[in-house]
A and B are shown apart, each in its own frame.
Chain A
Amino acid sequence: MNKTIKVGMADANVCRPPDLIATLGLGSCVGVVLYDPVKKIAGLVHVMLPDSTKIINNSNKYKFADTGIVTLIQDMVDIGAIRRNIVAKIAGGAQMFSFVNNLEMMRIGDRNVEATKQKLAELGIPILAEDTGANYGRTIEFNPDTGLLHIKSFGKELLIL
């Protein structure tokens, strides 16, 4: 019996085969899939904001790119993943509306992607694949058995990374 573990906004979870892990309707948020291909343990965090240090109320670690990634790595290690095996695939960070006069809101998707990449680089985790930016939403589903990430978007072909 395999099931799909769904991860909501500002949340995270871990998964092993035969289960799949998914997040639905990613907009400006970024879905970060971390994966230990040897132990076949995957984790997915749905980050909303780039930087926990800029926000006063930062009790939910999974809300931010910086703390979300670090916490997810720990969650994975806790169930048996090996830290140095971990690789990443990322998706999301779209700009859903073309705001004309609010630069900060306009760039939130980009900033989420930048912060995610920066944090992964800092931790020495390679990004194997990404589908980020543009102006459309994405549903992503990761299979820890095959290591493949399926990305569905409205009116677009299924993308497999």
Chain B
Amino acid sequence: MADINLNGINNMQYDVLREIGNIGAGNATTALSQMINAKVSMNVPKVELLEFKELSDIVGGAEKIVVGILFTLDGDVDGMMMFMMDKLASMHLVNILLGNMEETKPTEETEFSEMGLSALNEIGNIISGAYLSSLSSLTNLTITTSIPYMAIDMAGAILSVPAIEFGKIGDKALLIETEFGDKDNYVNGYFILIPTLKSYSSILKSLGL
């Protein structure tokens, strides 16, 4: 039962994985909302089994410029965790945090300052940490994360990194994706959890499935 087959995931497994996304992202959005002192809501997590060519559609197209903060996971669950935000949204977030609100509105061309980049890394760290620690306490599994790796580039290019890891074992990627945003949609983005196939089994097994 705990064995997961990419071609035939049953409804029960889908539900459990969706719930994991719910709990993880719930904690992460709470952390984010405390950081910026505003309400941040999230949508119902999606558990998606995608072909590689469909992968970048989930975040709004392969060419969209995003900030991707990637963590590699190790321990009982290995794989990758990606925190992805629209470039403008992440600039907005950094401005809120650093108190730069009076500065001119950021545009697509604005560059991050050193300070901004470092703040962004830290945001990624805290938020992903909140996601993963709730996952870890729910399942009783040890999850260690790498330092954050950040890239600002086209979504397709950034997603190629986890896609390649999945490509080594199959032709599809199974991921748990949650979209979040504040009410004005200034600060919106995605959490994408991409465990390896083996780790999906560990997660499901730990929950008695």
Q: Do A and B bind each other?
A: yes
A12-40: CB near B (< 8 Å → 1, else 0) gives 00000000000011111100000000000
Cross-interface CB contact of B164 among A24, A28, A100, cutoff 8 Å: A28
* Chain B residues with CB below 8 A from A24, complex form: 56, 61-63, 154, 156
Q: How far apart are the CA atoms of A100 and B152 in the complex, in Å? A: 18
Which of A53-61, A76-84, A113-121, A122-130 touches B?
A: A53-61
* Chain A residues with CB below 8 A from B149, complex form: 97-99
Interface positions, chain B 36-62, Cβ under 8 Å from A, are 51-56, 61-62
* Chain B residues with CB below 8 A from A59, complex form: 171
Cross-interface CB contact of A25 among B62, B70, B72, cutoff 8 Å: B62
* Chain A residues with CB below 8 A from B70, complex form: 97
Q: How far apart are the CA atoms of A137 and B147 in the complex, in Å? A: 22
Closest residue of A by beta carbon distance from B160 = A27
Interface positions, chain A 109-159, Cβ under 8 Å from B, are 135-139, 154
* Chain B residues with CB below 8 A from A137, complex form: 153-154, 156-158, 160
Closest residue of B by beta carbon distance from A55 = B168
Closest residue of B by beta carbon distance from A54 = B168
Once A25-B62, A99-B72 are accepted as A-B contacts, the answer to whether A63 and B154 lie under 8 Å apart by CB is no
The answer to whether A60 touches B171 (Cβ under 8 A) is: yes
* Chain A residues with CB below 8 A from B153, complex form: 27, 96, 136-137, 154
Do most interface residues of chain B lie in helix, strand or loop, or is the interface mixed?
Answer: mixed
Once A27-B157, A154-B153 are accepted as A-B contacts, the answer to whether A49 and B63 lie under 8 Å apart by CB is no
Q: How far apart are the CA atoms of A98 and B161 in the complex, in Å? A: 11
Most buried by B among A9, A94, A138: A9
Q: How far apart are the CA atoms of A10 and B165 in the complex, in Å? A: 13
Asked whether any CB of chain A lies closer than 8 Å to the CB of B203, the reply is no
Shortest beta-carbon distance, B131 to chain A, in Å? 19
Asked whether any CB of chain B lies closer than 8 Å to the CB of A2, the reply is no
Q: How far apart are the CA atoms of A20 and B159 in the complex, in Å? A: 24
Cross-interface CB contact of B169 among A57, A96, A97, A98, cutoff 8 Å: A57
Once A48-B163, A105-B165 are accepted as A-B contacts, the answer to whether A10 and B52 lie under 8 Å apart by CB is yes
Shortest beta-carbon distance, A55 to chain B, in Å? 6
Most buried by B among A24, A28, A56, A96: A96
Task: List A residues at the B interface (Cβ < 8 Å).
Answer: 8-11, 24-29, 48-49, 55-57, 59-60, 63, 94, 96-102, 105, 108, 135-139, 154
Q: List 9 A-B contacts (CB under 8 A).
A: A8-B51, A10-B52, A27-B158, A55-B167, A57-B170, A60-B171, A96-B161, A100-B147, A154-B152
Known: A96-B68, A101-B146, A136-B153. 10 other contacts (CB 8 A): A9-B53, A24-B154, A25-B160, A26-B157, A27-B159, A48-B52, A48-B163, A55-B168, A57-B170, A138-B157
